[in-house]
Amino acid sequence: MPKYPFLRDASNYTITSEYDYIVVGGGTAGCPLAATLSQNFRVLLLERGGVPYGNENITRLERFETNLNDNSGPYRPAERFVSEDGVVNARARVLGGGSCLNAGFYSRASPKYVRSVGWDGELVNQSYPWVERVVAFAPELQQFQRAVRDGLLEVGVTPYNGQTYDHILGTKIGGSIFDNDGNRHTAADLLGYSNPDTITVLLYATAQYIVLRSEGNRPRAYGIVYKDSQGVEHTANLKSVEGSEVILSAGALGTPQLLMLSGIGPAAHLKSLNIPVRLDLPGVGEGMSDNPMNYFVIPSPQPVETSLIKVVGITPFGSFVECGSGGSDGLLLQKVIGPLSNGNLLLRSRDPLALPIVRFNYFAVQADLDRCVQGMRTIEKVVLSRSFAAFRFDNQSLPSGGRVTGGGRNAICDCQINGVAPDSCTSYCAANRAALERYCRQTVSTIWHYHGGAQVGRVVDAQYKVMGADALRVVDGSTFNFSPGTNPQATVMMLGRYMGVKILRERSR
């Protein structure tokens, strides 16, 4: 049952008017962006999936893994793909985007990050609370999450910053888009801010290409061609007024893919697929990054609560340590900041339904691998800490190849903590590091924080306008050169609101 009166199935809706803005992608950025623009303008939001409402695989915390592994039909919310690196990943196909699939952690970008990308700090600080009033909650900790928090502090991931949405070095309880009854709140809920008289959201509407016309040497966006669930093709057009725009918010896979399908991208690649080149823009599809995640499952002697990410250790060396639990297992994970390693995205074919070819090149840069090693060492220390003792077995194997011995002691390349003379540690530490490097490379997985493909400075300018084109912007994680904070969803939602306000201000001048 649709939650909003302006939601329509694309196969049952005939477009009879033109729009000030057409937003492609009803995801983490597209929903807040469209809601904001609808305050003053007529907006069409195209979403290729359905709604999250009424689907307990999405809405309930305990169904998190079921949701990711759902393979029930062509419009399942999580579209599985495997990168050229061999890592299984997922792309959202549902109103609300990645906020309908993820583990729910909510944490802002740091002020340093905000300054580095040139955002207006005052507007950023207004936009985050706009999001948080609807989707962010202060989580309650149970025994396993408390043990990890206390273990992080015990091994030196300090200070303790309490519960905060802010990005601060040390250990903190963040926010969650799951409330304390286990209900997920997603970016789709931000459509509640919309003006219902000026917004239309079409579901099961898959964009085929951007309608472009050349004006001099520059292509200009005039609309979008999309297909409904029956395969019927439709065209949505912009109003013929200055300021009307097509805005791509289709994510780090969908946005560069749609640009290329429309003839905007690296000319040689487009020609190889017989796509007419409208704008040779080599940066489209470049800079694809996915923050490498490595985890360690710890069988527990006692049952643990079902929990997703609530606590994070933000280390000074660039690794974020988080945890989850359920049944008889705990899970500790580390995610590498950035990352510095990156790859690219190419079209597989001219079919918009064909997933693009993407390579992230995990650990191609040594600094990313170094951070993983340090992060896994920190996880081992937490497992061996006094605070964590109730949740580990003696003789528990460790990622470095060692085992927990009586009382939880084990040499883990930390001579002072384990009372080993420094000059006897050298050979052990070298072997330990080599083992952890292998562990990082062999067990790398994703936490679904991939980004890039339409980056600022390569594809879009500082106002997120596609360089060399008119009436065309990108507002989503494909524009990021570096993933914000510990988990990007808070900042992606904020960016949708932020850019919506910026555009409204531009039009009011």
Catalytic residues: 449
Q: How far apart, in whole angstroms, are the C-alpha atoms of residue 212 and residue 469?
A: 9
Q: Do the Cβ atoms of 147 and 390 come closer than 8 Å?
A: yes
Contact 351, 261 (CB under 8 A): no
Q: Which DSSP helix (H) or strand (E) runs through 369? A: helix 366-384
Greatest Cα pair distance, the chain, in angstroms, is: 79
d(CA 435, CA 428): 11
- Quickly tell me which residue has 């191609």 as its tokens: 364
Tokens of 161: 């910053």
- What DSSP element (H or E) covers 279? strand 279-280
The DSSP secondary-structure symbol of 208 reads: E
Residue 54, classified by CB atoms within 10 Å of its CB into exposed (0-12), middle (13-18) or buried (19+), is: exposed
Tokens of 198: 């000026």
- Crossing angle of helices 489-508 and 30-37, in 10° steps, is 20
What is the identity of the amino acid at 413? C
Terminal Cα-to-Cα distance of the chain (whole angstroms): 40
**Cis, peptide link before residue 74, omega less than 30° from 0:** no
CA–CA distance, 277 with 397 (Å, rounded to integer): 55
Q: CB–CB of 491/109 below 8 Å? A: yes
